[in-house]
Structure 1
Amino acid sequence: MQFLMLESYVEKDYAMIFFSSPAHHKPSWIWLLKAYRQLDHSFKKNLKALYVLHMSKSYQHVFNLANKIISPKFSDKVSYLATLDELDKIIDLAHVKIPHEVVEYELALPHSLFGYHHHYYHDQSQHAHHRNNGHHHHTHHHHHYQAHQKKEAPTGQFVFGRDLEALAKVEGVDISDQQSDVYIPTVVQKLIEHVRSNGLQQEGIFRKSPSNADLSKARNELDQNHSMFIEHLDVHTAASLLKMFLAGLPRPLISSEFVTMHSQNEDAADLGHKLRCHYKDKPHHFALLQYLVFFLAQVSEHADCNKMTIHNLAIVFSPSLIRSTVAFDDILTSPADAAVYLGQMKLHMAFIEFLIKEKDAIFSTR
């Protein structure tokens, strides 16, 4: 609900203050980076300034790297501040409700310069001291950030979160016969045809997102009735549903391990051969990948209008298409490890670019 309420703010220009400390239950580096990549475009576009207070140098380094890879323009909006005094010079803190814990944290810093706010700090810290001694201090615990293989969809969900085999059964398609390698889920065909007919000229198609309320409603309707007509959907909603479907597959369409083994410098025909060998036991996954790549190439042909170049499409689709089959959140815990993950992100985007650019050679049947 709080996330939905924020949408009314980000529809217009806004500034944000992020109090990064103290935080006793910080999510892992990898969870933060994945969440950062999923941040809706409207949150970034209309943000004019982001003031980050008390963030450690290591976190700053990681997100500066992320900005260079994903959105260099966004990094120009970010300012890292060490003290509340620095923030007060930019924004009048008299109009900002500062959490007591933030004040207590600042008071404990050896380099804090209280200036004319010393009395304010004292009053706030005293209030926080009595409140925490007299009442139970509630904190939100975040325990589950791991990127394990996604679970199968619960009963009653017919589209999102199901693997292709289960979805084929829902549609009454026998993918064990000789035509199994050409199975494309009906929902994917419908969503793509809707975008192809109505969205190729739309600026920011697949980058712009509808409101979360509209997207959630459309997803629930489609989940309960996979044969529903989708022509009435806003084209950006349809585009977002396609990405959501791909990201929700229990098994990623492309594994990060495969991408790591086969760089973009590989010959396109050789990569195509290795892809076919890799997908030998799951031809329907290969068919879906081919179907999607050729469609994305078509979208990029209208980049003069929709601004979605092959590079931009790779940025927005690589998180949905490529995932690791290993729970990296259990392995990558340091800033150096997070930098490795950022390198993987760049490799994933380059791989999707290569697939689109060299689609004819890669997916040739010869």
Structure 2
Amino acid sequence: MFRVYKSLSRKYKKNLKSFYIVQPTTWARISLDFMNAVVSPKFAKKIRYIHSLSELAKFVPLTQIDIPPAVYEYNLRYEDKITLPSSINYDENKHLMFGVPLEVLMGAEGENGLPRVVRDCVTYLRAEGMQVEGVFRRSPASTLLRQAKEAYDRGNPINLSDYGVHMAAVLLKMFFNELPVSIFPVQTYDVLKQIQGKQHYLGRIEFIRNSIFPLLSPASIILFQYVCSLLHEVSKYKDVNLMTAYNLAVMFAPNLVHSGNPILDVSMCILSRTNEKSGGGVGLLMKLAIEHFDLMFEGYEPRNRIRDVSESGTISMSSSMSGSIDSSDTPISTPGTSSPPKYPSLRKVRSLAAITTLSISGSGSDFFRVGAGVEISGVKVQGMVSKSQPTTPYSDLPGSPASMASIDELRRAIPWIS
């Protein structure tokens, strides 16, 4: 009380209308009443004791105050939920974040930008959560989680650094879990189950891009891609945070489905640790999106939109749909490892068809079909390739141009067939 009184100049003391003290203890009130006679009786008349944040909201615009977590927690002694007074200047539905359809939050085409809670959580996790052990696996205190969620729904400013990394991660999962229509609706389940039938990860990615993504709304694609980019970055620090692509997929996939049938939803999210080819459709898709983020989303329109997100969260609509792939030859670097896994060089692939038509031709065969568009030393190549004939020249392959390059060169250009 003395510190506050001394910190105010005479001008502010004179013009001060009210001085609110929230949730004072009995001892604090007795002490303040005693000091009022010493400090200033006029100043003492301006002091008001407030017992809860709901009561405070009647006098000050509570949604403009960044309230510390400790205050929220202490306020639970007096009320279970903060209630704001009815006002023509406050529209509760305008601020709701959780349990609201994506088309309402983002617009039919995502033109309204990313939801504030998603943008805040992803930004904070990128800055502070990459190397935190167990991120997306550990949970914060349930009481604080509820208070943080309600604060977002009221429109209060939230400083996530006051709550910590695990709070931001759980808020992000909770946002997806409470969507009225999940990212992967029940109508997509039959198509999602077909992912397991594809034998090669490239074939799975092609199937996802061509058969599953078109079933999702534009807002769902934008949001899903934005979060997958974060999870992809988190997985690069797996040696530190212990969150591999498998672990992240296991923790996040259940939040992307809710058909009303828990058993069915669980079956869609199952992942096998020993057999990477088996599992539920959503679990497999999630793991692929984290491990091969660039292949999954390269050239896809929503990714270009995400790059144009401004500080306000508005998304530019200037990008056009493109299915081409044009990625760098530089391997993706993984923190904590000196030699990251070699990803396919995609500069030599001129179309999506060229990369995804590479498939095994027949059960048990070591023959591969190379789609048109793959270039070796400036020469386009297509035809049948056998791994057991490493010296076969391209001129001997059906449909290939005259060239003396060997299958070994093809392997160097397309390393996933070796």
Higher relative contact order (CA 8 A, sep 6+): 1
Greater helix content: 1
Question: Structure 2-normalised TM-score?
Answer: 0.42
Question: Structure 1-normalised TM-score?
Answer: 0.48
